[in-house]
């Protein structure tokens, strides 16, 4: 993926990893369009980055995605990069039988990217060179038990990305997967943004961009910090890491 001269869409671009990616790519000379549900966050991001564009999108709604994609094709016919970053992460107690959080998570994290990808793929395939980047998680490979549906959707996104890459292998559309570790954002709670156990957001973005620049052949963007999770199964450390990680998480939650 070239890192400049693109017209790119970043969903979930008003906060967290999405906003940081948008700012970084904007600074590199790309036309960046951010999308998200919260107009005030989008407006703040655009105001801080003159030339950036923003469009409100409810990624959970199939009808909203259809309308959004149709307008995007008209307004940005040179669109050649899509970064599927929008996502939610919620704790769930599977013993209580509640489904609201699970259904919202599936609609946002899995159906949203699949629907948007289907709507935009014809435009991307018409470009001389294009890139689709999904954003999964280290938790796709070693789940956090207290957020089961989030982890399941990220595992599904990883699988979907592999299939998409194979199906597009003979086209000009490159398919990448960004696999973040635990990063200092407000994805789950405000305190996460300053949690010393999480990777600083600026460091995550900087390392990810270095990989994109220095290793253009890489299809998975894995910073060093996420590799123990990504390769736990392959290295034979999965069972021990799973228990250690989830025991620690459970103890931390019980202490709050």
Which positions are catalytic?
Answer: 150
Helix, strand, coil percentages in the chain from 3-state DSSP, rounded to 5: 55, 15, 30
Q: For residue 11, what is the DSSP state? A: E
Cβ neighbors of 208 (< 8 A, separation 6 or more) are 178, 221, 223
**Residues paired with residue 220 on neighbouring β-strands, in sequence order:** 177
In 3D space, the residue among 27, 46, 26 whose CA is nearest the CA of residue 36 turns out to be 46
Classify burial at 172, counting beta carbons within 10 Å of its beta carbon; exposed 0-12, middle 13-18, buried 19 or more: middle
- Structure-block tokens of residue 42: 């989008």
CA dist., res. 153 & res. 226, Å (int):
18
Cβ neighbors of 102 (< 8 A, separation 6 or more) are 92, 148, 149
Q: Give the SS3 label for residue 84.
A: strand
């Amino acid at each position: 993926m070239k890192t400049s001269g693109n017209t790119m869409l970043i969903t979930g671009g008003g906060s967290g990893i999405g906003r940081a990616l948008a700012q970084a790519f904007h600074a590199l000379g790309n036309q960046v369009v951010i999308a998200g549900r919260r107009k005030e966050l989008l407006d703040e991001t655009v105001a801080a980055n003159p030339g950036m564009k923003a469009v409100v999108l409810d990624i959970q709604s199939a009808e909203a995605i259809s309308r959004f994609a149709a307008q995007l094709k008209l307004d940005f016919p040179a669109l050649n990069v899509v970064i599927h970053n929008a996502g939610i992460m919620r704790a769930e107690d599977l013993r209580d039988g509640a489904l609201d959080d699970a259904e919202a998570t599936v609609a946002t994290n899995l159906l949203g990217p699949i629907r948007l990808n289907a709507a935009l793929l014809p435009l991307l395939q018409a470009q001389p060179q294009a890139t689709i980047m999904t954003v999964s998680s280290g938790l796709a490979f070693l789940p956090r038990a207290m957020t089961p549906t989030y982890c399941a959707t990220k595992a599904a996104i990883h699988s979907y990305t592999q299939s998409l890459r194979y199906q597009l292998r003979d086209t000009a559309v490159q398919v990448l997967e960004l696999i973040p570790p635990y990063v200092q954002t407000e994805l789950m709670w405000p305190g996460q943004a300053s949690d010393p156990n999480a990777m600083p957001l600026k460091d995550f973005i900087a390392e990810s961009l270095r990989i994109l620049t220095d290793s253009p052949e890489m299809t998975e963007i894995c910073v060093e910090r996420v590799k123990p999770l990504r390769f736990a199964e392959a290295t034979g450390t999965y069972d021990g890491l799973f228990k250690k990680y989830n025991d620690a998480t459970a103890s931390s939650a019980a202490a709050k």
